[in-house]
Structure 1
Amino acid sequence: MTSRMRPAEAHPYLRAATAGVRHHTRALTRPALTVSAAVDRVHLDVLHAHLTALHQLLDQLAESTRPPHPAAGRHLATAQTRLWQATAEVHSAFHVLPAASAEATECAPEQLPEGPPVLTMCQRHLAAGHIVRRKTTPTDLNRPHTTACAR
């Protein structure tokens, strides 16, 4: 974002995605919605797709920020690691929820979770995992969050 660009004009697609997540969150917190209707595999599949897209965005931002501003790049890389941890937990939650049919619940990319989408959750998760393994060590993934405010 340049100094001439107003915040309302910056990154319209990201703002729209954020607005969509906020709308969905408000819709899930309506009193008439029951817990069993609120959490299902379809919801988690869509949430996982959103998280993996954010993971890719953070990867690109960290890579472009790191050369001119190394400290900021490290913080973005840490955010990317934390987001991967959340993504992995959503993937795990997907597999422990009951399936809509008699399908298997183990991670098998060749089996489609809820119909024939172009990219299943497991395939998406494996593809995002390749980025993580290229840029993150197991120690980084297990390190507790210790980043303090820089201000």
Structure 2
Amino acid sequence: MTPRTPPDDAHPYLRAASAGIRHHTRALARPDAAPPSPVDRAHLDVLHAHLTALHQLLAQIAETTRPPHPAAGRHLTTAHTRLWQATTEIHSAFHLLPSNPAEESAKASECHPERLPEGPPVLTICQRHLATGHVIRRTTTPTDLRAHTTACVR
């Protein structure tokens, strides 16, 4: 019999990721620092990777919660869909940024992994986005994606 993990140690990696995001947000908002530079493609790529990982985690949590607690499962599924929408917007913003300051042509906004600033890595933002999109389309209908675009009315 293994000892039960205390509640404060139950999700150390998730807590560490959240702490990292909070630290990054505070560093960007420091009043004594130089004005933050505009976001670059590398920054959005890392943020997209974080959102897709969170998307996978939320999908697993929703699947295990839905059978015993259907109402909570529906809310988690809605959060899952909205997280996908946020991930899609990050991907779109990535392609609106030039790959370098000299290149601001329309070709920079097209989805071509071979033109990424760091070259075509094993898993580019586009490949990651397409793989996650494939998963979301197996579990979510286009109507569901459109239905979850309103703000909370509470």
Matched, 1:114 2:137: no
Question: Deviation string for 1:38-75 (max 9, x for gaps)?
Answer: 41111111100000000000111111111111111111
Q: Which runs of 5+ in 2 are unaligned?
A: none
> Does the CA contact (< 8 Å) of 2:62 and 2:73 recur in 1?
yes
> Does the CA contact (< 8 Å) of 1:52 and 1:87 recur in 2?
yes
RMSD value, Cα: 2.1
Shift of residue 146, structure 1, vs aligned partner: 6.2
Q: Which runs of 5+ in 1 are unaligned?
A: none
Q: How does 1:54-133 map to 2 (within 5 A)?
A: 54-100=54-100, 102=103, 104-109=108-113, 111-116=114-119, 117-133=121-137
Shift of residue 30, structure 1, vs aligned partner: 2.3
Q: Percent identity?
A: 67
Q: How many residues align?
A: 144
Q: SS of the counterpart of 1:98?
A: coil
C-alpha distance in structure 2 between counterparts of 1:76 and 1:7, whole Å: 21
With normalisation by structure 2, the TM-score equals: 0.83
> Does the CA contact (< 8 Å) of 1:66 and 1:73 recur in 2?
yes
Shift of residue 80, structure 1, vs aligned partner: 0.2
With normalisation by structure 1, the TM-score equals: 0.85
